Structure 1
Amino acid sequence: MTPDRGRDHRSTAPDGTLLRGLWWECARPEGIVLIRTPYGAGLHAPIARSWNERGYHCLVQDVRGRYRSQGRWSPYAHEQEDGGAFLAQAAAEHPGLPVVLFGASYAAHTALEAARAAAGAGPPVAAVIALVPALGLAETAWNTDGEPQIRHRIGWWHQHGRTGRSAPPLPPAELDRRTAHARERGAIEAAEDWDWPPEALAGWRRLWTSHRTDLRSRYRRITAPLLVVSGDDDFFHADARRLARAWSAASHFAGGPWGHGLAAGVADPGLRARITAAGGLSRVIDPWLAANGLPGTAAEWTRVLAPAAGARTRSLLDPQTGTWRHERISDDRVHPPGRPVPGG
């Protein structure tokens, strides 16, 4: 294992497909973090090392059909069984170590699906952290008002959705042209002119003919606490809030003045400075882990999480003052009226 790259890791899906990833090891582990991504495990070295510093082994695994993992890449099709395969392996190889499922965007979906595998017959998971979650095919294709998200779906599918490795992004002018073409002719019909192979076209049709996920039904058996992170400018913001409300166990929602790229995507230097001064998302993630009995840094504000069973709580970062507000909520409303909690 090298500090920058991690050690090669292999697990086997129930159908025999070999899934490969990179394992970053912690000297004195108190837990394991699993990240399953379609974007290349090697790109996640900084986040893996940050989990090592918290006291966790960290596996970043390429999802089926992407980069070094075998099989055919079909977005949103195999994440439950593939994630469950690692959980079974981790329980056998590292008994007693709690597993935290972590991911952003598509990787948030893989985390949720692995938790669903554990809620069936697999080893339990200790917690789930879903950042700017892309919950499913329909949730990425349509916003909650029923408007098609054509432009960024064309961009994502061209770059990430068609082959085993990500392609260069479309030039803005070509993306504009394809977007206009799809709006005029229809998203499915327009793709027939884009020289995509039959498998890519089949996946594209599945995207636009899929149905929204009943989150309460899909994840009803999961007992692990959930932390959802979203941003005011994220195009999946409404679905992130929907996920936090639908979760059957305790859920905590963290939001702030960012988009899908989180704080790293904030262009305003003054705002970025205020986010950094407030401790960024670590000011929420680490105390939330500690409050749930996992390696993390305790903070006074986490008293709003008790009693934990079925609780709905949230943390919001004020863009003007650069301070976190932590509060208990009911039916997505503050109850009682929220006041800043010391230590936030």
Structure 2
Amino acid sequence: MTPFTVAVAALATDVHLPDGDGPFPAVLIRTPYDRRRHRAELRGWARRGFAAMAQDVRGRYASPGEWHAYENEAADGAETARWARGQSWNDGRLVAVGASYAAHCALALALDAPTDARPDAVIAAVPALGSAETAREPSGVERLLARAGWWAAHGDRPDSDESALDKALAADPGLLTHLPLTGLPERLGRSLPSWPGLWRHHERGRLLTEAEHAGMPLLAVGGHHDHFTEDTVALWRHWGGPSARLLLGPWGHGLVAEPHPDARPAHRVSLGDLYVRWARRALAGDLGRGRRGAVGLGGSPLWVPAGTEGEPRAQNVRLLHGASFTADPEHPVSSADLAVPTEGPPDRCLLVTPPLPRPLDVVGPVEVRLRATAHTPSADWAVRLVALTPEGVAQRLAVGVVRREEPPGTNAEFTVGLGRIARRLPAGTRFRLEIAGHHFPAHARNPHTGHDPVTATRLIPSRREVDAGNVVLRLPVLMSRPLPTDPAEEILR
């Protein structure tokens, strides 16, 4: 293998070439996270016959310029793709590969770049589709902790400090409680001019709209315990190319490096080997048309075909306490703690189900239907679903948050989507349903005044009532034994 570093469009780029005579198909990874972290990955691609490139995006690490997240990626990627195709060692074929922000770079090249620069295939893992998609839930509620951590680590700087937020929280545990949230950079002690602008992005779905007109194969990879699960599945569903494949396991944002407790040995997948095999078939035109893939069923050894979804079934829930409660942003329900207070005035409505009489397989979106009242002009409704195992262990299953703005005292009926799950739950499991006004610090606190939570400087409590008799928990239940599949076979068909 022949490794070397070049400046492509002035951007630092590592290139690893296979042994032997070319030309070879090429792989391009564009990243803000330091191209040097991909050297082992580049060697792996090169050993398997691909010319592999990793590039620092503009303004990051060894690449000059100013770093502006989610800008310049289509144009800079296009210059790099054209350069690669003009090299004697490239046979003209190119695969864009990336995870998280690097997946955004791959998708921007595939969907936004001029046609002559677009790749021949795309691998997008845990894709960050855009500023609005990463900063907010589909309902518009702000994902505070995740974005604060990312911006503290990577925003407005040429390198990264992955532990920046953790160090700041260690010094000031109440860091994220200070108002306004736009003042976070000052409390971090460094310049972060892009932070306020992040929250001005509300428009979602641009890349998904463009994905409908894609002209190349896609492999989308994600985890059921990742922030971007819904975006990964939506990308696969919207993809208009000749084939789209989905691999969704019981993993977090780090995929197989971050297995969830419900992962089993059968969910260990060699992603590197699978990527290479898929890329070869994609470039050769050997993939079948249409959408296929595999979803790992957590809590079991099974993979099921992508697209498998249970039938929405209402679960019997009974009220424990808190049909009337106060959502106090000065004392919000913690997103990090599954313990439920047993003393004092209730801070949430708490409901439970009877134990499951038999194991239950749930695959698909979870939703809760509510009839409830808030006595403030703005109110978030955070709904958390927790599994209580037969051994008495509480396990987070799903969370959803919606924002309602209507006259105080309005009795409203609405649905809260809690995202997708794929899980086998053993007999004896009970479900605990928590309905609260906050889910902090994962999500910003609604101040209840009607002001923007990012710029608000005043918080007030919000009195709530939940019509417990009309709370409906719908789980996507598989009504028959799931059909198992082999993930590699599904991806490579």
Which TM-score bucket, shorter chain as reference?
0.7 to 0.9
Aligned to 1:288: 278
Is the contact between residue 293 and residue 305 of structure 2 (CA under 8 Å) also seen in structure 1?
Answer: yes
1:236-255 → structure 2 map (5 Å cutoff): 236-249=228-241, 250-255=243-248
Is the contact between residue 263 and residue 272 of structure 1 (CA under 8 Å) also seen in structure 2?
Answer: no
Question: If the length of structure 2 is used for normalisation, what is the TM-score?
Answer: 0.58
Displacement of 1:213: 3.5
Given candidates 90, 93, 110, the residue that maps to 2:105 is: 110
- Secondary structure in 2 aligned to 1:264? strand
CA gap of 1:313–1:85, structure 2 versus 1, over 3 A, is: same
Q: Which runs of 5+ in 1 are unaligned?
A: 13-17, 299-304
- Secondary structure in 2 aligned to 1:51? helix
Q: Which runs of 5+ in 2 are unaligned?
A: 310-363, 366-477
Q: Which has the higher helix share?
A: 1
Question: If the length of structure 1 is used for normalisation, what is the TM-score?
Answer: 0.80
Is the contact between residue 154 and residue 179 of structure 1 (CA under 8 Å) also seen in structure 2?
Answer: no
Determine the C-alpha separation between the residues in 1 that align with 2:276 and 2:118. 21
Determine the C-alpha separation between the residues in 1 that align with 2:205 and 2:171. 31
What one-letter code is carried by the residue in structure 2 that aligns with 1:265?
E
Determine the C-alpha separation between the residues in 1 that align with 2:54 and 2:87. 17
CA gap of 1:171–1:239, structure 2 versus 1, over 3 A, is: closer
Identity %: 31
**Which structure would you say has the larger Rg?**
2
Displacement of 1:112: 0.6
Given candidates 291, 297, 308, the residue that maps to 1:318 is: 297
Aligned to 2:214: 222
Is the contact between residue 216 and residue 248 of structure 1 (CA under 8 Å) also seen in structure 2?
Answer: no
Aligned to 2:484: 340
CA gap of 1:293–1:186, structure 2 versus 1, over 3 A, is: same
- Structure 1 stretch 313-322 or stretch 108-117: which is displaced more? 313-322
Query: Does 1:127 pair with 2:121?
Result: yes
Displacement of 1:292: 2.0
Aligned to 1:207: 198
Aligned to 2:249: 256
Residues 65-106 of structure 1 deviation map (CA, whole Å, 9 limit, x = unaligned) = 001111001111110000000111112114533100000010
What one-letter code is carried by the residue in structure 2 that aligns with 1:261?
G
CA gap of 1:37–1:282, structure 2 versus 1, over 3 A, is: closer
Aligned to 2:19: 27
CA gap of 1:63–1:315, structure 2 versus 1, over 3 A, is: same
Displacement of 1:252: 1.4
Displacement of 1:242: 1.6
What one-letter code is carried by the residue in structure 1 that aligns with 2:226?
D
Query: Does 1:275 pair with 2:254?
Result: no
Residue correspondences, number: 315
Residues 196-230 of structure 1 deviation map (CA, whole Å, 9 limit, x = unaligned) = 32xx22x1122111132323333444301111101
Is the contact between residue 232 and residue 257 of structure 1 (CA under 8 Å) also seen in structure 2?
Answer: yes
CA gap of 1:155–1:82, structure 2 versus 1, over 3 A, is: same
Displacement of 1:117: 4.4
Aligned to 1:185: 179
1:54-93 → structure 2 map (5 Å cutoff): 54-93=48-87
Displacement of 1:291: 3.5
What one-letter code is carried by the residue in structure 1 that aligns with 2:236?
A
What one-letter code is carried by the residue in structure 2 that aligns with 1:257?
P
Determine the C-alpha separation between the residues in 2 that align with 1:312 and 1:176. 46
Aligned to 1:302: none
Is the contact between residue 12 and residue 56 of structure 2 (CA under 8 Å) also seen in structure 1?
Answer: yes
Q: Which has the higher strand share?
A: 2
Determine the C-alpha separation between the residues in 2 that align with 1:234 and 1:189. 28
- Secondary structure in 2 aligned to 1:55? coil
What one-letter code is carried by the residue in structure 1 that aligns with 2:258?
G
Is the contact between residue 251 and residue 263 of structure 2 (CA under 8 Å) also seen in structure 1?
Answer: no
What one-letter code is carried by the residue in structure 2 that aligns with 1:244?
W
Aligned to 2:4: 7
- Structure 1 stretch 316-325 or stretch 252-261: which is displaced more? 316-325
Is the contact between residue 144 and residue 238 of structure 1 (CA under 8 Å) also seen in structure 2?
Answer: no
Residues 161-211 of structure 1 deviation map (CA, whole Å, 9 limit, x = unaligned) = 1210112513636337878554552422443443332xx22x112211113
CA gap of 1:194–1:65, structure 2 versus 1, over 3 A, is: same
1:128-143 → structure 2 map (5 Å cutoff): 128-143=122-137
Is the contact between residue 318 and residue 325 of structure 1 (CA under 8 Å) also seen in structure 2?
Answer: yes
- Secondary structure in 2 aligned to 1:96? strand
- Secondary structure in 2 aligned to 1:80? helix
- Secondary structure in 2 aligned to 1:165? coil
CA gap of 1:219–1:273, structure 2 versus 1, over 3 A, is: closer
